[in-house]
């Protein structure tokens, strides 16, 4: 999986259609457990097509969730 993916990229979530990557990841994570195993996201890049399986989707969801967590006040740097 590429290091940086654009959450606004238009992709196809198999059996759910075209949508933004962020929406496809969220929808895949909301699937029933038996449906998650077959969830794939298809990306159409400029040079090639790539497919993200559910393991990669799960990693991406965790990565984005961690990036969105607020900084606890006790670890924030003091202002000027």
Give the model confidence (pLDDT) of 2-28 as tens digits.
557 889 999 999 999 999 999 999 999
Q: What is the model's pTM? A: 0.77
What angle, 0 to 180 degrees and rounded to 10, lies between the N-to-C axes of helices 21-30 and 54-68?
Answer: 110
For the chain, the domain total comes to: 1
- The pLDDT of residue 78 is above 90: no
In a domain, 4, yes or no: no
In a domain, 52, yes or no: yes
In a domain, 28, yes or no: yes
What pLDDT does residue 49 have?
74
Pair 49, 74: CB distance under 8 Å: no
Interval 42-74: pLDDT, tens:
998 766 678 999 999 999 999 988 887 776 666
CA–CA distance, 42 with 52 (Å, rounded to integer)? 6
Q: Domain residues for 60?
A: 10-64
In a domain, 5, yes or no: no
Q: What angle do CA 50, 55, 57 make, to 5 degrees?
A: 60
Pair 19, 10: CB distance under 8 Å: yes
In a domain, 40, yes or no: yes
């Amino acid at each position: 999986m590429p290091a940086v993916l654009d959450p606004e990229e238009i992709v196809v979530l198999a059996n759910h259609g075209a949508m933004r990557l962020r929406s496809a990841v969220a929808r895949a994570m909301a699937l029933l457990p038996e449906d998650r195993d077959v969830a794939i996201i298809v990306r159409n890049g400029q040079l090639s097509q790539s497919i993200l399986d559910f393991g990669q989707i799960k990693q991406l969801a965790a990565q984005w969730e961690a990036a969105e967590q607020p900084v606890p006040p006790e670890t924030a740097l003091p202002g000027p």
